[in-house]
A and B are shown apart, each in its own frame.
Chain A
């Protein structure tokens, strides 16, 4: 079975993001970039499935600027087999990304698409669901455990009330949550091997998709700075303030 794993290049989670001075977005120039952590979990799961003999090939896809190659290389160093870069300078929205992935799914015919549940830059949490809808495939989102048997993928999902287990008939879409696994460190020999693995570059037009955003960003601003708290003298005063000032009870 072939696995397709889309990965996104985002600002490294250690970096404190700053708003650009013209308020058009977040400053990316000279900022350390890395693979979206949820996608790293998806790659790790794919590699484990391959190590168990469930999967035979892992194809990793990234959509974005040329530097996304580095993100693909990271995935290859973790154990993916080959990469596809959909190169575009536009910053495509989830629907366009899902459409591009649909085109790649049609070409590659994977048995399973595993991806991060969301990207930490815009926290959209939409692409996996949209891709499932576009393909008409079953979806198991927020996966914390995956078991494959025959053509059924049993996915444990982290939902508000606890854990929900769903059985999906493959091909299917699974989106990875934080507790699915702990991604490995790429070993030095695998980093060396990764540079010999192939990366194919295509354009959105080759996939018949227009990547231009449909939404207009009016402005991006820093969240308001926190103001100092107040000390209250008694429980009664606290309740009073919650009722009259904060108006939460």
Chain B
């Protein structure tokens, strides 16, 4: 049984206590967004996730999407749920008010996103992609395009997609073949075929707005010759309503391991009418606005699925009776003890819990930077925030989604054979979580982005936005033994960074060989920092916590578990990085 109730208390802790939402909203000039308001939004979003989205998760997986005569049918209940989602105004939570959004801070938006993906990842993808598309359009589109499309996309009546991948090019988009030919009225005609397009065709909205990468005639070769085009499924007529059917057809939907209620489509563009978004040949720049936002969101998807896996496993571990506690029967009146008494089951539950809460704290930190990046009054603060987001984006994407899969699998293990059969929904979580490691830039690519692009940028300036706060925290709390494990791990990270900067200058393959381990090392230090800070907050609050004492005690215990049992992996990772590429690259290709 998939169990999910929005972890409201922990979300409030992250927003208000750990990241001081009151100071944060003051800095971004939104003091009217009070803690009380944020809490009431969280509460309603939580109800929506549990009551509307969760019941469709297993049934949507079972039924999947169907392609009938070029039209994709989403599973039973999705159309109604999406209608309620739009009526609730949830799609426009953080979108600008001038286009009908609510303009609420990302620190709140990311929590709501997490809830939706916890309850139903497949469902979450539809509005998630639309939101990403609005960001790209808002950042790069002409006033005319923005005025015509943004309000409809923000209120959810039209959906959005991003069309990058073609059959022969995924990671290497420079090989792209889809063509754009200028038309005399200023628009373009798009011809080509795209694959793996999430939400490329469905029955949830009256129109779908595709953001398509294509090459203009005579464009430079490679990635520098790619432009972005807006291609609607129905071309809006003068009054703004969906008009003539455009030349975009869904030729197939993919049969996938998981995420079955999300339609992954192949799209064929046959002289489709499109409009240029941004400048010619700068399509990747525009698409990166969307992709960076999506990468953070995909990271949160990993966290979101792990949360549901945790709640489900915790429920089962308290319910399932089997064997006796090693220290003697804890429930002698019952035929056996619930399996939560066993240390190894505890190990699983605590591991999932410690990672999930740590990731939520980190996502809250990155979300504050997202707000500051666009809304801080001080340009220097905006710049710093932008650099912090740049360095943390690959970390959040890859770390959270690797963990999403590892932790879902660990939670499944708590169920034993009952996790492997379909009845309890645990195997669905594992299957669903798996895609997050692949899409929006596979995690190996994220690690390369971190090590090859973000780390060396401006002589390592981006890295400072992360290193400096950690360093300052460790120095301020040097007398606190609880902070010692963090200090040790941080030292390993610093050494690894210096080592990598040195060896990769001589041999870029060294950076490539170390990238994934380095990303995990940095991610663990970031989570360790969040846990050490959380413990400080909990410790200060505990003496006058009254009825909330249990929450703070659990925070302190989980922080200790993270420092004792998970953070030490940093030492092993540093060891692996130090060993270098030699044994990895040694074998002749023919030996594989």
Q: Which residues of B line the A interface, CB within 8 A?
A: 5, 8, 32, 34, 36-37, 40-41, 44, 47-48, 51-52, 84, 87-90, 92-93, 102, 545-551
Interface stretch, picked from A56-64, A70-78, A200-208, is A70-78
Closest CB-CB distance, B3 to chain A, in whole Å? Answer: 13
**A191 and B44 contact, CB distance less than 8 A:** yes
Given A27-B547, A29-B547, A31-B547, residue A187 in contact with residue B40 (CB < 8 A): no
Shortest beta-carbon distance from B45 to chain A in Å = 8
19 A-B pairs whose Cβ atoms sit less than 8 Å apart in the complex: A14-B5, A27-B547, A29-B547, A29-B548, A30-B548, A30-B549, A70-B36, A73-B36, A185-B44, A185-B51, A185-B52, A186-B44, A188-B41, A188-B88, A188-B90, A189-B89, A191-B37, A192-B102, A194-B40
Instruction: Chain B residues near A179: list those with CB within 8 A.
Output: none
Is there an interface contact between B47 and A191, defined as CB atoms closer than 8 Å? Answer: no
A74, chain B: closest CB distance, angstroms:
7
| B87: A residues at CB distance < 8 A | 187
Give chain B residues whose Cβ lies under 8 Å from the Cβ of A197.
none
From A29, which residue of chain B is reached at the shortest CB distance? B547
Q: Which residues of A contact B547 (CB under 8 A)?
A: 27-31
Query: Which of A27, A28, A70, A188 is the one whose CB lies under 8 Å from B92?
Result: A188
Closest 3 CB pairs between A and B?
A: A30-B547, A29-B547, A188-B89
Could you say which residues of chain B place their CB within 8 Å of the CB of A190? 89
Contact between B89 and A187 (Cβ–Cβ < 8 Å)?
yes
A31 to B550, CA, bound (A): 11
Point out the residues of chain A lying under 8 angstroms from B548, CB to CB.
29-30
Task: Please determine whether B88 and A187 come into contact, CB atoms closer than 8 angstroms.
Answer: yes
Residues on B with beta carbons closer than 8 Å to the beta carbon of A194: 40
Q: Which residue of A lies closest to B84 (CB)?
A: A185
Residues of B within 8 A of A188 (CB): 41, 44, 88-90, 92-93, 102
Chain B residues contacting A185 (CB-CB under 8 Å) are 44, 47-48, 51-52, 84, 88
Residue of A nearest to B47 (CB): A185
B89 CB contacts on chain A under 8 angstroms = 187-190
CB of B41 within 8 A of CB of A191, answer yes
Contacting B102 at CB < 8 Å: which of A30, A74, A189? A189
Given contacts A188-B89, A189-B89, contact A73 B84 (CB under 8 A): no
Give the chain B neighbours of A241 by CB distance below 8 A.
Answer: none
Q: Closest residue to B32 on the A side, CB-wise?
A: A195
The answer for the CA separation of A77 and B545 in the assembled complex, in Å, is: 30
Cα A74 to Cα B44 with chains together (Å): 10
Give Cα A77 to B88, complex, Å.
11
Residue pair A77, B40 in contact (C-beta under 8 Å): yes
- CB proximity of A49 to chain B, nearest CB, Å: 20
- Distance of A27 Cα from B550 Cα, bound (Å): 13
Q: Roughly how many angstroms separate A74 CA and B90 CA in the complex, as a whole number?
A: 17
Within 8 A of B (CB), among A24-42: 27-32
Q: Within 8 Å CB of A189, what residues of B?
A: 89, 102
| A71 CB, min distance to chain B CBs, angstroms | 11
**Which one of B37, B44, B547, B551 has the highest number of Cβ atoms from chain A below 10 Å of its Cβ?**
B44
Interface residues of A in 3-38 (CB under 8 A from B): 14, 27-32
